[in-house]
Amino acid sequence: MENSNDKGQFQRKMQTRHVVMLSLGGVIGTGLFLSSGYTIQQAGPLGTILSYLIGALVVYLVMLCLGELSVHMPETGAFHSYAAKYIGPATGYTVAWLYWLTWTVALGSEFTAAGLLMQRWFPSVNVWIWSALFALMIFLFNAFTVKLFAESEFWFSLVKVMTIVIFIILGGAAMFGIIPMANAEPAPFFSNITASGWFPYGATAILMTMLAVNFAFSGTELIGIAAGETENPEKTIPKAIHTTLWRLIIFFIGTIVILSALLPMSDASVLESPFVAVMERIGVPYAADIMNFVILTAILSAANSGLYASSRMLWSLADKKTISPWFARLTKRGVPFNALVLSMAGGALALLSSIIAPGTVYITLVSISGLAVVVVWMSISVSQYMFRRQYLREGHDVKDLVYRTPLYPFVPIVSFVLCLASCIGIAFDPTQRIALYCGIPFIILCYIVYYWTDRTKKKRGLTS
C-alpha cells in the first residue's frame, strides 16, 4: 500500500496535534474571517447559527463514516481509494480529480489574496511578487519532509485558533458590558440578534446559506488523507475527528453569536472584515492590522493544507495505476515530489485563469470545486455503507473493527441524503446554479476518460 516505484516510503510522522490542526487549517479560512458577515446578512443571525449547526451535523456524520474507513485502511489518498474499492474504480478516479481540482483552484485564489493583503503594508510592491514569494514558501514547506509540513501547518493554524478564542472572550465581555465599548455605547447583550425578527428572510434563506456553510466546513476530510502518514492511526484518527468537530462548532457558532450581537444586521456585510468592525467597536488598537496579519496566516495555512491534499491525491491516482507511475515516486524522505510539482503548476494555471479569463474559465473552475466537496462527502458515506456490508458478508464480526461508525446504516444514509439535499438546493439558487452546469459535465467527462483509458490499456495488453 505505502510502497512506490521509487526507494522512498511515506513516513508516519504526524501526531494528533498535527492532524487536528491540519483539518482546522483547511476549514478556518477566509470563509469565516471575511464571508461570515455576508452569511449573517443573507439568513439573519439565528438563521446563520442554525445553518452552521446543521452544517456541523452533516460534517460530523460524514467524518464518523470516514473514521471507520481510515482506521481500518489508513491510506494516503484515503477516500479516492475507498471509492475505487467499494463503489467502483471509475467513481474513485472521478472523486480524486474532483478533489484535486478543488484544492488547486483554491491555491490560485489564496496566493492572489495573500498578495493583495500585503498591499496594505507595501502598496508600492506588485501583488504578483508577493504571490510568487508565498507560493515558493508553501512549496518548500511541503517539499522536504512531512514533519516540516505538519509543523508549519500547526503554527499557522494556532495563530487563527488563538485569534478566534481571544475574539470570543473579548466580544463576550463587551456584549455583557464587562468591558466598555469604544464610543461609550451601552452593552448590547442579545438585542442585535433579535432586532430584525427571528428569521427575517424566512426558512428558505437558511437552505440557501446551507450550501455556503457546507463549503465553509470543507477541509475536515483532510484527516482521512493524512491517515497514511499518521502515528498510531487507530488512536489518532478517532481522537482528531471528535476534537476537530467540537472545536469547529465552538469556533464557528461562538464567532457568529459575537458578530451578530455586536454588529447590527444592516452593517454585517460591509466590505471590510466583520472581525475588524467588531474589534474597532470594542476599541482594540491596530485592529485592522492585526486582522490583516491573521487573515494572511489563514490564507497561507489553507494553501499549505491544499498543496498537501492535492499532491497526495495525484500520488494515489498513480499508485492505483490510473495515471502515469511517474507521479507515484517518493523522495527518500517520503514526499511525492512529482505530484507536488504538478499540483503547484495546477495552482499557477488557476491563478493565471483568474487574471486572463475570470468570467469564463475561472468561474467554471470555482463552480466545479464548490460542488466537488459535497460530492466527495457523498462518496465517503456510500463507501462506508458498502464497506460494512462487504465486511459482514465476508463473515467478519463488527466487534473486530477498531473504530466503528455508530448507528449503522442510519449514519451513512442520513449523511448521504443531507449532502444530496444541498446539491439539489443549488438548483434553486440562481447565483449558485452554475456549479451544477459546470460540475455535472465535468463528472461525466471524468467517467468517459476513465473508461476510454481503461479500454485503451486493455487493448494494448498493459493491464497488470
> pLDDT digit string (tens) for 232-249?
888 888 888 888 778 888
Whether 147 and 235 have beta carbons less than 8 Å apart is answered as: no
**Per-residue pLDDT at 3:** 43
> Which grid coordinates are listed for 207?
437552505
Mean pLDDT of the chain: 85
Q: Report phi then psi at 135, rounded to 5.
A: -60, -45
**Regarding predicted confidence, which is higher, 35 or 243?**
243
**Per-residue pLDDT at 1:** 40
**Per-residue pLDDT at 15:** 81
SS3 state of residue 14: strand
Whether 350 and 107 have beta carbons less than 8 Å apart is answered as: yes
Single pTM value for the model: 0.87
pLDDT band at 462 (very low <50, low <70, confident <90, very high): low
Whether 319 and 77 have beta carbons less than 8 Å apart is answered as: yes
Whether 61 and 241 have beta carbons less than 8 Å apart is answered as: no
Quick: pLDDT tens for 248-283. Answer: 888 888 988 888 888 877 666 544 678 888 888 888
* pLDDT score of 8 more than 90: no
Q: How many CA atoms within 13 Å lie on the side-chain side of 444?
A: 6
What is the CATH number assigned to the segment(s) 16-449? 1.20.1740.10
Mean pLDDT (whole number) for 342-357: 87
Whether 412 and 405 have beta carbons less than 8 Å apart is answered as: yes
Residue written as cell 502515469? 324
Quick: pLDDT tens for 46-87. Answer: 888 888 888 888 999 999 999 999 999 887 767 889 999 999
Cβ neighbours for 400, distance < 8 A, ≥ 6 positions apart: none
Quick: pLDDT tens for 121-154. Answer: 999 998 889 989 999 999 999 998 888 888 998 9
